[in-house]
Structures are given as C-alpha cells and as structure tokens.
C-alpha cells in the first residue's frame, strides 16, 4: 500500500537539572535510571490530554550502557515510569548524539507511519559511569593506524582542532567560554531556563534527602582572566582547559514527539516541526569538526544556506569546536543567533542527554522569536561524527 510521510512535531521537552559528576555532585547517590524516569513522568504530568497507552515507543540513549544505565534503558525506564506494559522501549548509543539520534530515529518512525506518539531522550551519569568505562578498543585501531592515538581522548581531539585552525587561539576560546557563562547567568535571571527543569529528588549520606532545582555546573561571573589562569591538561602549553570545555556531568532529558495531525487530535500543542536531519563522519582525531559536513549536507538537501537559519543551538563540548563551525560558515564568534541563552560550557554536557537539551532551548527560543522560520540543533560526536537537525518554527508569523 502507498505510504505518505507525515509531519513530525516536537510537543514538549524536559530535563533534570544537570549536576557535576563525582562524589560531591548533586546526583552522586542517585541512580541514572531514576533520573530519566523523573523526566518521563514529568512529560506525562505536563501533558494530561495524552493517554499513556497512546505512547508507541520509548527511545532512551546512554553512552555507557552498563549498571543503572543498562538493561535496555528505554524499556526499563518506561516500566519504572508507570507506562502501560504494552509500551515498548529500546536503548540507543551514538555517544554525545545519543538523545539526538533517539529523536531522529523515533521521529522517522512517526513520519513513516509506524508510530503516532513517542518519548525520546537520554541519560548520562558520568559520576557512576565515566566515559569509556568497560570498553575494550580493538588494538587494530592503532596497530593498523586506522586512527591517530589522540582520537581516543576527546580533549586531545580538541587540541588537534586548535592545530588545524591556528586562528582559533586560546584567548579566543576563553572569550567564547566566558560569554557562554554570562549568557546562562542572564537566561537564569530572566527565568528562561527554569520552565523545562524538573525538580529532582537527591540523596546525600551526610545531608539526607533534598531537591535539585537548578543546574550545578554554571560559574556566573567567570572572566577571561579567570580562564587564562587554568592549566592545559591535554597538552603542555596547549589551549584546552576545564574552563573552555564542557565538564563531566550527570543528568537526563526526555521529549514528546508526535505526528502533527495526532497531536491536534489529542489536544497537544507543538513547539516546533521536524524538517530533516543529517549525520556525517570525519577523521576521529578531529571529531569536533563533525557538525560542519552534517550541516552542509542538510542545508544542501533542503536548498537552504546558513543565512536562512535564524537560530543555532550548537553543543559546546569545547569552545574550539564551536568556533571551528562558526569560522567555516563565516559566522562571527558573537553572532546573536548562536546559543542565545548559553550552552554546555556553562550548563554541562551529560553526553547522551545533551541533544534534547539543545532542542528544548531552541523550542523556547522559537516561542519568543516568531520572526524566525528555521533553526538547527547540531553537535560533534566522539569517534569522528557530527549530527544536525533542522527545525521549523510553528509559532512563526504567517505559519509555514
């Protein structure tokens, strides 16, 4: 039988506040699966017109799929969240782009007609499960010289980007990082970040139970001078520091996607429309450049240029990676379209969870910017990849 692709909409998105990984972090004694369960339950609470049995799939990403991030976490989180046992789920991994891939994969299923409504998201508890825990890289990667040894250390790949783009100096990276901190502080002060944060129970052996209500990583008031004093752990006299890179973080995200006609039937109000997506591979030793070819492919396929993109949410794994993207597309370092409310350098980057944070932020910006038609969410991905998703503003003046 003939099939017609359906429009897919992003209805709602939430996340836990992000915490610092480690024994003193917000979620040091909180399970990873409980974080994503909290996000799923909040989605259902905020959208009471959605019967839980109408959820057709739960796709949850985790980079380190072991322990409390294992056990096919999409399915286990669905059961723990109280969804009917008839609702299936699965786990997905594309490292940093895990949640992004959960959205694009599940969204493609909606467009194809296999699903009507899905929940997609990601979780990473880097305090319990450090990046690379338990992995056993095939020795042929190095023995056969398939990749440079630096490809397996993300901070080293960022230093490699500085080598490839000598115009991106440490001072320029530090200036970008300081702006990210300032923009997050301004967004918090204006109440723009808080609407999608889910208050999350935390436990401490010393202090008992508490409630996480805001992100732990931001450092408001950070200056370029402060950042200039930091050490460069990945290379002597290098450029990458803890201040111009995202930290090690814990957190979870989840979003609700639906076919546009089904959302209308169920009384769900969409925030934005999924237009297209693209993933691309690059040399693993310069994985930070991945968003460039992914975005180029996406723009070409949709007969668009960067001038057509009114908002850009790019994950700030490293300042140099963002600046390389901007330099390629001839975008100024301080272009108002780019991460207007700050990014991961300040907010944190719990790996597989981050893609949906970008989408949450873009969808809120669309609500304010009714003059903007298109926006993108884009990110670099470990092992040499990039991903970009193109979104259309449903609040735009004049509609489609």
The residues that are catalytic are 96, 349, 380
Q: How many CA atoms lie within 13 A of 333 on its CB side?
A: 18
SS3 36: helix
Distance (Å, whole) CA 274 – CA 207: 44
Which value, in Å, is the radius of gyration of the alpha carbons in the chain?
A: 20
What's 318's DSSP letter? B
- Residue 375 has phi, psi (to 5 degrees) of -140, 160
The CA-CA-CA angle for residues 27, 32, 38, to 5°, reads 90
DSSP designation for 222: -
* Selection from 175, 228, 218 nearest residue 334 by Cα: 175
Buried residues in 227-265 as b, exposed as e (16+ CB within 10 A): beeeebebbeebbbbebbbbbbbbbbbbbbbbbbebbee
48 within 8 A of 299, measured Cβ to Cβ: no
8 A C-beta contact, residue 169 and residue 228:
no
E strand map for the chain: 8-15, 19-20, 57-61, 89-92, 117-125, 200-204, 208-212, 249-259, 272-281, 309-314, 374-381, 385-393
Q: Strand pairing of 272-281 and 385-393? A: antiparallel
């Amino acid at each position: 039988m003939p099939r017609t692709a359906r429009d897919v909409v992003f209805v709602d998105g939430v996340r836990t506040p992000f915490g610092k990984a480690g024994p003193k972090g917000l979620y040091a004694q909180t399970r990873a699966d409980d974080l994503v369960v909290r996000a799923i339950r909040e989605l259902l609470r905020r959208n009471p017109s959605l019967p839980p049995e109408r959820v057709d799939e739960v796709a949850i990403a985790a980079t380190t799929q072991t322990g409390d991030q294992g056990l096919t976490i999409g399915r286990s989180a669905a059961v723990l969240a109280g969804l009917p046992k008839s609702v299936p789920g699965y786990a997905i991994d594309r490292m940093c782009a895990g949640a992004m891939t959960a959205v694009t994969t599940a969204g493609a299923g909606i467009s194809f007609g296999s699903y009507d409504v899905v929940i997609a998201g990601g979780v990473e508890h880097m305090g319990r499960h450090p990046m690379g825990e338990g992995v056993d890289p095939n020795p042929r990667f190095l023995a056969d010289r398939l990749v440079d040894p630096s490809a397996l250390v993300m901070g080293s790949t960022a230093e490699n980007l500085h080598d490839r783009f000598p115009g991106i100096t440490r001072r320029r990276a530090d200036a970008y990082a300081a702006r990210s901190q300032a923009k997050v502080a301004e967004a918090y002060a204006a109440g723009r970040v808080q609407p999608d944060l889910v208050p999350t129970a935390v436990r401490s052996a010393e202090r008992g139970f508490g409630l996480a209500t805001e992100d732990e990583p931001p450092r408001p008031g950070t200056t370029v001078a402060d950042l200039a004093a930091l050490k460069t752990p990945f290379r002597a006299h290098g450029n990458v520091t803890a201040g111009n890179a995202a930290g090690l973080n814990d957190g979870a995200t989840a979003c609700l996607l639906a076919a546009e006609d089904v959302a209308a039937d169920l009384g769900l109000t969409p925030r934005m429309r999924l237009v297209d997506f693209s993933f691309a591979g690059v040399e693993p030793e310069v994985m930070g450049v991945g968003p460039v070819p992914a975005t180029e492919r996406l723009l070409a396929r949709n007969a668009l240029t960067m001038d057509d993109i009114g908002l850009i949410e790019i994950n700030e794994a490293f300042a140099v990676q963002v600046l390389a993207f901007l330099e390629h597309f001839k975008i100024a370092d301080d272009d108002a379209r780019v991460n207007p409310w700050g990014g991961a350098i300040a907010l944190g980057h719990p790996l597989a969870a981050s893609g949906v944070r970008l989408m949450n932020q873009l969808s809120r910006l669309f609500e304010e910017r009714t003059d903007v038609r298109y926006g993108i969410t884009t990110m670099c991905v470990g092992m040499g990849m990039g991903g970009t998703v193109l979104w259309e503003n449903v609040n735009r003046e004049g509609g489609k």
